[in-house]
Amino acid sequence: MSNVLVINAGSSSIKYQLVDAETGERSAAGLVERIGQRGSEGRIVHRSEGEGSAGARFERELPVPDHTAGFSAMVEAFAACGTPVEGLDIRAVGHRVVQGGSEFFEPTLIDDRVADRILELGALAPLHNPGQYQAIMAARARFDVPHVAVFDTAFHQTIPQRAYTYAIDRDVADRHGVRRYGFHGVSHQVVSRRAAAFLGRPIESLRQIVLHLGNGASACAIDGGRSVDTSMGFTPLEGLVMGTRGGDVDPGALLHLLRAGLETDELDALLNRGSGLAGLAGSNDFRDVWAAAEAGDGAARLALDVYAHRARHYIGAYLAVLGGADALVFTAGVGENHAGIRARICGGLEWLGVEIDPSRNEAAAAGPRRIGTDASRVEVLVVPTDEEAEIARQSWRLVAG
Ligand code: ADP
């Protein structure tokens, strides 16, 4: 048995899964959301799939003032489904940590010092690391097993200096840790490995461009299995158009807004929650925006134009960075499910060797699949991501040696 509890704490949520790290099978999963939100109760939805409780589901609205309370809600949900955590033979807990700075290169056993550093790195990721720290401390108090931090930034530690350096004053940048870190590393890593396995080729021989298009979105250039460039930067705000984040914006425009009287917190809310598809078209859900555009809504059409244009911009950039590509890989909620946007992003790129096969692209299917034509010089693939299974795998590998 190699049960790993995976805890993925976001700014106002905790997603969790109980995964057998060796088989990838999950026996429970849940989401605590609206953590710490003034004026609205939190909510937990939990599903246990273990024997004896097959299909047990638990859903409740409850006050969740912080991530410590969110963790307790999770423990209670396991008990309410007849599978109290004490009986689950949990061997390790894998924690997703968004920001590992320049010092965490790989999955790391969490002791007091590592936990303190994760909290301190909250200066670079104020929306994420503090809640993750709370979840880590609550989990360590509850489960006397190894706890492993798996960092979203770690996979990008191979990005060369020329690509991670912002051309601003060096002393200022060094003093404040300002550089490109990159995020979604766990996803880019597992997806690029699965793409290589699907193609039956050694990952070392492949140049891949992975487009992770979910609520958050980022592109990654991967050479021989190593990240060499990525679109998210110092924070997860840079790069592609996302659900509520706009990606690339001239920093001069932000200075302009500050001088025009916007408060720092207002600007923060604008950039993190009020931009992207939500800012342009009024919804962060890609399906809503697509449907509105099809119904003739001009704002939604523009939002999709900007979305696809930005993705193509990064494909072009990464073709130059990699010197060509062997595979272009779509993943995450939008990338895995939306044939229309995949076709828009790849349209007109035949001259680069990217040729989509419309019937393959539109076929409803699960699992890794080819959506390019047989003649396409660049393999165009859809490869589902599974960050939780990957966190479980990496945690278990460290713990089991
Ligand atoms: P997160 O970053 O929160 O993990 P996901 O990867 O789940 O996000 O992606 C969420 C996005 O995926 C939403 O914009 C949603 O509209 C979109 N999405 C989910 N399922 C589908 C689908 N079947 N077709 C099109 N878009 C989808």
Q: Is the dihedral of CA 340, 338, 154, 204 positive or negative?
A: negative
Q: Is 289 in the pocket of ligand 1 (CB under 6 A)?
A: no
Nearest-angstrom CA–CA distance, 359 and 319 = 26
- Whole-number pLDDT of residue 51: 56
Least trusted range by pLDDT, from 54-58, 255-259, 384-388, 391-395: 54-58
% of the chain beyond a pLDDT of 70: 99
CB of 40 closer than 8 Å to CB of 34:
yes
Least trusted range by pLDDT, from 119-128, 186-195, 221-230, 254-263: 119-128
- Whole-number pLDDT of residue 267: 97
Helix/strand/coil for 268: helix
Asked if residue 285 belongs to a known ligand binding site, the reply is: yes
- Looking at the DSSP bridge assignments, the partners of residue 356 are 372
Q: What is the CATH class of 201-387?
A: alpha beta
Q: Give tens-digit pLDDT for 211-222.
A: 999 999 999 999
Q: Is 72 in the pocket of ligand 1 (CB under 6 A)?
A: no
Q: Is 337 in the pocket of ligand 1 (CB under 6 A)?
A: yes
- Whole-number pLDDT of residue 45: 96
Ligand 1 atom nearest to 287, measured from its CA: 16
Q: Is 287 in the pocket of ligand 1 (CB under 6 A)?
A: yes
Q: Edge-to-edge strand order for the sheet containing 369-370?
A: 226-230, 217-223, 207-213, 327-331, 379-382, 369-370
pLDDT at 53 over 70: no
Asked if residue 387 belongs to a known ligand binding site, the reply is: yes
HSE toward the beta carbon, residue 260, CA cutoff 13 A: 8
Helix/strand/coil for 44: strand
**Domain range summary for the chain, segments of one domain joined by +:** 3-151, 201-387
Q: Please determine whether the domains at 3-151 and 201-387 fall in the same fold group of CATH.
A: yes
Ligand 1 atom nearest to 217, measured from its CA: 2
Least trusted range by pLDDT, from 95-104, 122-131, 203-212, 373-382: 122-131
Q: Give the mutation target among 14, 190, 334 for probing the ligand 1 site: most ligand atoms within 8 A of CB.
A: 334
Instruction: Pick the residue whose CA is nearest to atom 2 on ligand 1.
Output: 215
Q: Give tens-digit pLDDT for 277-297.
A: 999 999 999 999 999 999 999
- From ligand 1's centre to the CA of 238, what distance in Å? 19
pLDDT at 52 over 80: no
Ligand 1 atom nearest to 284, measured from its CA: 14
Q: Is 100 in the pocket of ligand 1 (CB under 6 A)?
A: no
- From ligand 1's centre to the CA of 400, what distance in Å? 34
CB of 247 closer than 8 Å to CB of 205:
no
Confidence of residue 10 (pLDDT cuts 50, 70, 90): confident
- Whole-number pLDDT of residue 76: 95
Asked if residue 120 belongs to a known ligand binding site, the reply is: no
Average pLDDT, the chain: 95
- Among all chains, which residue has been given the structure tokens 């679109």? 231
- What radius of gyration do the chain's Cα atoms show? 21
Across 126-136, average pLDDT: 90
Q: Give tens-digit pLDDT for 224-280.
A: 999 999 999 999 999 999 999 999 999 999 999 999 999 999 999 999 989 999 999
Helix/strand/coil for 58: strand
227 vs 39: which has the higher pLDDT? 227
Instruction: Pick the residue whose CA is nearest to atom 13 on ligand 1.
Output: 285
Confidence of residue 40 (pLDDT cuts 50, 70, 90): confident
Confidence of residue 11 (pLDDT cuts 50, 70, 90): confident
Task: Specify the pTM.
Answer: 0.94
Ligand 1 atom nearest to 385, measured from its CA: 6
Q: Which amino acid is located at 301 in the chain? A: R
Q: Give the mutation target among 286, 307, 336 for probing the ligand 1 site: most ligand atoms within 8 A of CB.
A: 286
- Whole-number pLDDT of residue 356: 98
Instruction: Pick the residue whose CA is nearest to atom 20 on ligand 1.
Output: 333
Catalytic residue among 144, 152, 223, 288: 152
CATH T-level assignment (fold) for domain 3-151: Nucleotidyltransferase; domain 5 (3.30.420)
Judge whether 152 counts as a catalytic residue.
Answer: yes
- Whole-number pLDDT of residue 38: 78
Fill in the DSSP letter of residue 377. Answer: S
Any idea what the Cα angle at residue 304 is, between residues 299 and 306, rounded to 5°? 95
- Whole-number pLDDT of residue 125: 85
Asked if residue 266 belongs to a known ligand binding site, the reply is: no
- Whole-number pLDDT of residue 303: 98
Q: Is 333 in the pocket of ligand 1 (CB under 6 A)?
A: yes
- Whole-number pLDDT of residue 1: 76
Nearest-angstrom CA–CA distance, 239 and 245 = 9
Token pair of 310 as six digits: 């930005």
